[in-house]
Amino acid sequence: MRLRIVQLIFFCMVYSMNSQQDSQFTQYMYNTITINPAYTASRDVMNIFTLHRAQWVGLEGSPSTSVVSLSAPVKGSNLGIGVSILNDRIGPSDETKLETDFSYTIRAFDDFQFAFGLKASIGFLNVDFSKLNQFNPGDYAFQDNIQNSFTPNVGAGLYLYSENTYFGVSVPNILETTYYNKYADAGSVSTAVQRAHVYLIAGKVFELNDAIKLKPSILTKIVNGSPLQVDVSVNTLFSNVLTLGLAYRYDAAVSALAGVQISDSWFIGYGYDMATTEIANYSYGTHEIFLRFELFKRYSGISSPRFF
């Protein structure tokens, strides 16, 4: 039963002409570079970030996502550079993407800075149809596996931020490319198009007292042909060490978040999603864990570092 559910999800991805295909993260606020290249080097330090997301644990072939990112400011300039490797797996499909990000930052007004970012990426998709229980083994659309299907793309973003407030808009994948079109000339409908996703992000830190900070944030995803997706979260930072939070993804999941600043450089976090849809009856939720390392912190002497 669980395998059939995953197969149904996969086929919806394959046969849908309009869907949300970008990687999804509950703790996006700690590595916004994945959705907005203008965030690159905005923390003004060398940053190494790794995250693994296991979605709908308990379902065979359920989605999993891993990402490793490195970003840093270019000394003596307003430039920032970053590199990320992302891997998405669901059922028989396995896609790996290599992304390069560039940002340029200027002072906007008062304490705000404004950054413009560009993203260039290449993706390699593999699909092993033999992993599926095919109802029609003779279907020619599933006779040959997809191997290293190459997909280039570009993206752009804007990011306005201060020490306690940020706004951003981005389109990480501008080009709308076709993934499954091998049999299009033969009348097959097994085509899926990578649609451009528009992301709107905002957040603000409120310093309640010397030891407690509250940060509400919102992320909105807009893509043609799919429902509007809104993620709302509230994180609380205690004594610049412990972070606890809650999040809600509209009509999808509620989440609990936690993080610990182990040292000046190391920060570890964990998130748990509980689905609010029928998928909750067949899985044990979604787990997300990340580790961030920052080198050469310029604010090491400041008692109140930035909370995003």
Q: What pLDDT digit, counting tens, does each position of 92-148 carry?
A: 888 999 999 999 999 988 889 999 999 999 999 888 776 666 666 665 555 566 777
Q: Using CA atoms, how far apart are residues 150 and 173, in angstroms rounded to an integer?
A: 15
Long-range Cβ contacts of 63-70 (<8 Å, 24+ apart)? 63/88, 63/89, 63/90, 64/88, 64/89, 64/90, 65/23, 65/24, 65/25, 65/89, 67/23, 67/25, 67/31, 67/34, 69/31, 69/33, 69/34, 70/46
Burial class of residue 213 in the structure, from the number of CB atoms within 10 Å of its CB (0-12 exposed, 13-18 middle, 19+ buried): buried
Between residues 41 and 140, the one the model is more confident about: 41
The superfamily CATH assigns to domain 2-294 is monomeric porin ompg (2.40.160.40)
Q: Using CA atoms, how far apart are residues 142 and 192, in angstroms rounded to an integer?
A: 14
pLDDT computed for residue 32 by the predictor: 93
Q: Using CA atoms, how far apart are residues 189 and 175, in angstroms rounded to an integer?
A: 21
Q: Using CA atoms, how far apart are residues 115 and 129, in angstroms rounded to an integer?
A: 43
Q: Using CA atoms, how far apart are residues 249 and 235, in angstroms rounded to an integer?
A: 15
151 falls in which pLDDT band (50, 70, 90)?
confident
Residue 148, Ramachandran bin (φ over 0: left; ψ between -120 and 50: alpha; else beta) = left
Q: Using CA atoms, how far apart are residues 172 and 72, in angstroms rounded to an integer?
A: 19
Of the given ranges (6-15, 182-191, 230-239, 295-304), which has the lowest mean pLDDT?
Answer: 6-15
Q: Using CA atoms, how far apart are residues 79 and 41, in angstroms rounded to an integer?
A: 8
Look at residues 54, 117, 123 and name the one whose alpha carbon lies nearest to residue 85: 123
Domain boundary assignment for the chain? 2-294
What average pLDDT does the chain have?
84
User: How far, CA to CA in Å, does 190 sit from each of 15, 184, 225?
Assistant: 5, 7, 17
DSSP 172-216: S--S--BS--TTGGGT-----B-PPPEEEEEEE-EE-SSSEEEEE
DSSP 99-138: EEEEEEEEE-STT-EEEEEEEEEEEEEEE-GGGS--S-TT
Q: What pLDDT digit, counting tens, does each position of 222-237 carry?
A: 988 778 899 999 999 9
Taking residues 162-171, what's their average pLDDT?
A: 95
Q: What pLDDT digit, counting tens, does each position of 176-219 carry?
A: 876 655 554 554 544 556 778 999 999 999 999 999 999 999 99
Residue 264 phi, psi (nearest 5): -60, -30
pTM to 2 decimal places: 0.85
